[in-house]
Amino acid sequence: MNYYLGLDIGGTFVKGVCMTAEGNLLAEEKCDTGCEHGGAVMCDNIANLCAKLRRKVKGDLNGVGVGCPGMIESVRGVVKFAGNLGLKDYPLGDELARRLGVPVKVTNDANAAALGEARFGAGRSFKNSILVTLGTGVGGGIIIDGKLYEGGCSVGAEIGHMVIERNGDMCTCGRRGCFERYSSASALTRYTKHAMEEDAGSAMWGKYTSQTCTGKTAFEFMDTDRTAKEVVDWYIKYLACGLVNLANIFRPEVIMLGGGVAAQGERLTKPLQAIMDKEIFGGNNYAKVLVVPASLGNSAGAMGAAALCLE
């Protein structure tokens, strides 16, 4: 049997999967990233992880793919810059290939997740899809005609850094008013905290403080507390604004939402779909764009990384 390894590098852990071309998971493992000790230690850790995975399965290794945070030059497998891994111009693909004895493909972690969802998850029935991941920031990946679209020099697709509110909140990228400042899970938590502090009578205080509230809090109380409902409505309006922008530019068949917030399911997607249908350019009679939750959870990145070898 032919199998593929997919690796999803995070700041703390590396998640590895061993799977078939059809997306059947044969084995899973994880290890410490260890990037605080430098790129070489990280690569040694990943090589050990791969060895472990290979011992668990029988068959032939056909390819290894890696999803890595940061700005990745995927053609050469070079990490141009990854702030939270402390890497700069690091030849990750070559370093891993040398240790593993096989070629290694590398892409940005958000792109890998999008490819995973497109091949094996919520996007598998569609040729054109976008994954929007709502986490600390807003990441995303774009699939055009079944293929991962990384932008020129493979460093585009930075959909979180599209300004939707000129002169708005300061973003880590140096601009103001980026999509991710308003639509990330962190932004939702920030709104919730602020709304609680403004409304001493909110039912949310019965269970949370403005320190312990999370991106789930407002959704939990939206049916019973007006302030919580306002937070959810506000969040959805901003998120919808960015999603309709993406729909007008790419007109994909489906936009998939990933990250913890997406677990809200229809409470999130139903109002988003209503706004999409109303606001999309030229109406939704032709080339409708669906908004759905992603389906692979935190396996999307590793599975998509493996799928890089199937491109």
Q: Residues in the site for a copy of itself, rule: CB under 8 A? A: 71, 73, 80-81, 128, 144, 149, 151-153, 155-159, 161-166, 168, 173-175, 237-238, 241, 244-245, 248-253, 278-279, 281-282, 286-287, 289
Provide, rounded to whole angstroms, the least separation between the CB of residue 266 and a copy of itself: 24
13 vs 149 by CB, closer to a copy of itself = 149
169 vs 197 by CB, closer to a copy of itself = 169
Provide, rounded to whole angstroms, the least separation between the CB of residue 146 and a copy of itself: 12
Report which residue type is found at 2. N
157 vs 305 by CB, closer to a copy of itself = 157
51 vs 170 by CB, closer to a copy of itself = 170
Cβ atoms 13, 293 nearer than 8 A: no
188 vs 289 by CB, closer to a copy of itself = 289
Provide, rounded to whole angstroms, the least separation between the CB of residue 124 and a copy of itself: 16
Measured between alpha carbons, how far is 104 from 171 in angstroms, rounded to an integer?
33
**C-alpha angle 179/195/207, rounded to 5°?**
115
Three-state secondary structure call for residue 34: coil
Return phi, psi of residue 178, to 5°: -65, 150
9 vs 143 by CB, closer to a copy of itself = 143
Measured between alpha carbons, how far is 115 from 143 in angstroms, rounded to an integer?
7
175 vs 190 by CB, closer to a copy of itself = 175
Q: What is the DSSP annotation of 87-125?
A: EEEE-HHHHHHHHHTS-EEEEEHHHHHHHHHHHHSTTTT
Cβ atoms 281, 94 nearer than 8 A: no
51 vs 75 by CB, closer to a copy of itself = 75
Provide, rounded to whole angstroms, the least separation between the CB of residue 225 and a copy of itself: 25
Q: What's the sign of the alpha-carbon dihedral 262, 266, 271, 276? A: positive
Provide, rounded to whole angstroms, the least separation between the CB of residue 165 and a copy of itself: 5
Provide, rounded to whole angstroms, the least separation between the CB of residue 31 and a copy of itself: 28
Cβ atoms 123, 256 nearer than 8 A: yes
Cβ atoms 225, 202 nearer than 8 A: yes
Measured between alpha carbons, how far is 133 from 294 in angstroms, rounded to an integer?
9
Provide, rounded to whole angstroms, the least separation between the CB of residue 252 and a copy of itself: 5
Q: What's the sign of the alpha-carbon dihedral 272, 278, 279, 284? A: positive
Provide, rounded to whole angstroms, the least separation between the CB of residue 62 and a copy of itself: 26
